[in-house]
Chains A and B, each alone.
Chain A
Amino acid sequence: MSTSTEHLHIDPTEKRWMIASVGLLLIFFAAVTVAGFMLGIQVPTRERRVDPNTVAEQPPWSEPGVREIVPGEEYEVYVLAHRFSFTPNEIEVPAGAKVTFYVTSTDVQHGFKLQDTNVNFMALPGQVSKLSTTFEKPGVYPYICTEYCGLGHAVMAGAVTVTEAP
């Protein structure tokens, strides 16, 4: 390989581009670290594991729906996904409250995407997915299944009705 140095000669322009690339990389790295660990950006997280055979019979999913934790301020919503609908498919919460969704599936993989919010996660059998959001404006926010689940996938949907803050 006596001639290899000749072929690996690096032009100064190329070297500058290389330095610029590495610099970009470091900036990206810093940005993600700051965003992920210091700003505490929330990502979909598995809350816990459940048994998909019995989850629909045991609390809290034996009675899926809205739980009022602090009236007007904090709510929890338990949703069961199954082919090809959500239980419940109508949810009502007030504007301005922190609403936490707990979603799981009883059969195959599903998705839970709440339009116009940060909420979009998979609902997998055997695990509970959790995310919180706050609806600032009253209105109707549909939620749809985003994970392909078979024949009725296109019609699998529900809606959150957000009422005026009390």
Chain B
Amino acid sequence: MAVATREQAPAAADRGVWSWITTVDHKRIGIMYAVAAFIFFLVGGFEALLIRTQLAGPNGTVLSAEAYNQIFTMHGLTMVFAVIMPIAAAFQNYFVPLQIGARDVAFPRINAFAFWLFFFSALFLYTSFLFGGAPDGAWVGYAPLSTQLTEYVRMDYYSVGAQLLGVASLAGSINFIATIFTMRAPGMSLMRMPVFVWMTVVTSFLLILSLPVIGVGLWQLLFDRNFGTLFYAAQAQGDPLLWQHLFWIFGHPEVYVLILPAMGIVSEILPVMSRKPLFGYAFVVFSGIAIGFLGFGVWAHHMFTAGLGPVAEAGFGLATMLIAIPTGVKIFNWIGTTWGGRLKLTTPMLFSLGFISMFVIGGLSGVTHSIVPADTQQHDSYYIVAHFHYVLFGGAVLGYMAGAYYWFPKWTGKMLSETIGKWHFWITLIGFNLTFAPQHILGLDGMPRRTYRYDAGLGWDGWNLMSTIGSYLIAVGVLVFIWNIIRSWRNGEPAGNDPWDGRTLEWTTSSPPPVHNFDEVPVVHHVDDFWYRKYGIDEDGRAVKMPEVSGGALTVDTDTGGEDGDADAHDIHMPSPSYFPIIASAGVVILGAGLVFISSGAIGFGLLALGAIVSLWGFMGWAGEPITKEAH
């Protein structure tokens, strides 16, 4: 039966651009997320270089204040919404179904819709440079500054763009939760899931609970700007602080949304490269959940200078300290995992170790924010910039780089070059520290953030120059990475199914996996089930490689062999491609464009009408389309 299944799986007739546009395959959507996120990483990185070039010396003249404000705002928006969130979604899309032994996600077309909506919204945000200027109210968009700049459509772009990106993330999150809760392979109880899958559950819930809050805030912002409402207008008894609360109730969980998937990736890589099980699996899982819960109770530490009063500030300060505990638990568990292991210092392992060490620095500087009097000193200084770059670059980006090196073989069937990878790692690590370590000193020395220039003679020149040199070094590292990808894609060593001696189910299938992922749905008996198929334990408690079992390594489960539960089914039905998700998402983005220009009269209403028609076409067609079409 197994042979028949293999042969009758959907043929690989899916080539060309059209097949990518209409694809609902979670692996292809994952790859598109990765490519899009990497392109935006280059764009956001270019913006960062502009910022650092401007600040290389005192009284920089590369950018005007107007240009600088747009660029630093777009750098923040891009890196958060168009780089780190989608690169996490890329890994989640590709590997969550593989790691839980599923053939696809629960809602393949919603998955495609989420990707295209993200991609079009991010592009739409960038069209603002052509039509009236990019958002220039910082990525936090504090009111009333963001509501008062009514002479431009800039912050309308911010409001609508972030709203649409949020909808895309919501769609993705619901899909992941449904997939993980309903489509796990037989035997894969929740406490046998890989940690990466667990962290996907946590981030998905964080997004579902936090995005509606900012969604409300962003609508209010749009209404304040265009329809004369006064939510944030202090001049009419509105409350500017309301925006800050709404933004950070979303904004702080968002930080964990950015970092938790990276923590999940590192929790996958460390056991494999240490040849030991993850130290304290349950603790790593529960501390991730605890971080998720506590993440909703710390938002006001972003607002300690706003005058909330001593009781609120003590409470939020305590909650901020509290969240350091589960985070610390994770760090100790990672160290415990490597402790006494026979480490394989491969590139993914180096990036993982880099992640841990840089994240510890960023985490510790974060704990200093929980001390209210210290926080008010650091507020909106470069110390904050240094802190969150240690968490989001030294943490998240290094973590996702580790994931890229770890899983590239599964994506392409080729290994990334280890030699070039190590160059990439060390250049990035040195460049990163050169860029952001001096910013701690600058911040404590009083340099405020979001200023396009600074005077000479304040003692800031040398540190800023060092920081700028570091940022160029990071750029060199990115170029090395690109070179590695291109070179390895063409002539990389073939990877085989299991290049790292992996522990999780994605390594049981071919590289790249077939469209239906698994010929036979695996049955799971342990955490790290695949490892237990390969290794036994001798009397001394040491792992011993078991003899290779050809073909029969995976338990055949006839009851789940076919999607329809028919034990006699000989072929696997995968969902058919559909072009309705891309049409629906394009329609929604056109609707958004209409909202941005709603104050401009006919253009706005025209776009709204067009968007309504296109999205209706997309959604109606989608609703009327059977999931699996018979032969085309």
Contact = CB atoms under 8 A, between A and B. Distances in A.
Nearest to A142: B446
Interface in A1-36: 1, 3-4, 7-8, 10-11, 13-14, 17-18, 21-22, 24-25, 28-29, 32-33, 35-36
A21 B328 contact: yes
B65 A113 contact: no
A147 B371 CA distance: 20
Given A120-B377, A152-B65, A11 B310 contact: no
B376 A4 contact: no
B267 interface: no
A126 B243 CA distance: 14
Contacts of A113: 379-380, 446, 448
Given A17-B329, A151-B69, A121 B148 contact: no
B530 interface: no
B66 interface: yes
A124 B307 CA distance: 10
Interface stretch (A44-52, A59-67, A92-100): A44-52
B241 A124 contact: yes
Interface in B185-206: 189, 191-192
B189 A1 contact: yes
B66 A127 contact: no
B304 interface: yes
Contacts of A122: 303, 305-307
B533 interface: no
Contacts of B370: 32
A151 B66 contact: yes
Nearest to A147: B380
A145 B317 CA distance: 24
B334 to A, nearest CB: 12
A158 interface: no
A151 B453 CA distance: 11
Contacts of B336: 13-14, 17
* Interface-central residue, A4, A126, A152, by most chain B CB under 10 Å: A126
A115 B545 CA distance: 64
A126 B242 CA distance: 13
Contact of B235 (A28, A125, A147): A125
B280 interface: yes
A149 interface: yes
Interface residues of B, number: 63
A113 B328 CA distance: 33
A125 B310 contact: no
A39 B115 CA distance: 53
B234 A8 contact: no
B234 A118 contact: no
B307 A44 contact: yes
Contacts of B452: 154
B304 A154 contact: no
A125 B69 contact: no
B234 A126 contact: yes
A144 B448 contact: yes
Nearest to A119: B376
Interface stretch (B138-146, B176-184, B604-612): B138-146
A69 interface: no
Q: Tell me whether chain A's interface is mostly helix, strand or loop, or mixed.
A: mixed
B149 interface: yes
Range of interface residues on A (Cβ < 8 Å):
35 or more
B191 A8 contact: yes
Given A124-B241, A152-B65, A4 B191 contact: yes
A108 B145 contact: yes
A58 B63 CA distance: 40
A10 B305 contact: no
B318 interface: yes
B191 A14 contact: no
Interface string B268-307: 0000000000011111000000000000000000011111
Interface in A143-164: 144-154
B381 A44 contact: no
Contacts of B144: 107-109, 125
B329 A146 contact: no
A19 B458 CA distance: 47
B110 interface: no
Interface string B431-461: 0000000000000001011111110000000
Nearest to B303: A122
B480 interface: no
A37 B372 CA distance: 13
A70 interface: no
B373 interface: yes
B314 A24 contact: no
Contacts of A121: 305-307, 376
A155 to B, nearest CB: 8
B450 A148 contact: yes
A17 to B, nearest CB: 6
A127 B450 CA distance: 24
A146 B321 contact: no
A148 B373 contact: no
Contacts of B318: 28-29, 32
A137 B433 CA distance: 36
B317 A36 contact: yes
B379 A120 contact: yes
A52 to B, nearest CB: 5
A29 B321 CA distance: 8
B609 to A, nearest CB: 34
Contacts of B145: 108-109, 148-150
* Interface-central residue, B234, B322, B380, B446, by most chain A CB under 10 Å: B234
Given A8-B191, A52-B234, A109-B240, A44 B376 contact: yes
A14 B280 contact: yes
B191 A43 contact: no
B309 interface: yes
Contacts of B234: 52, 124-127
A15 B235 CA distance: 56
B329 A154 contact: no
8 contacts: A7-B281, A41-B372, A44-B307, A125-B144, A146-B380, A147-B142, A148-B145, A149-B145
> Which A-B residue pairs are the 5 nearest by beta carbons?
A126-B234, A154-B451, A125-B234, A46-B307, A36-B314
Interface of B: 65-66, 69, 137-138, 142-145, 148-149, 189, 191-192, 234-235, 237, 239-241, 279-283, 303-310, 313-314, 317-318, 321-322, 324-325, 328-329, 332, 336, 370-373, 376-377, 379-381, 446, 448-454, 527
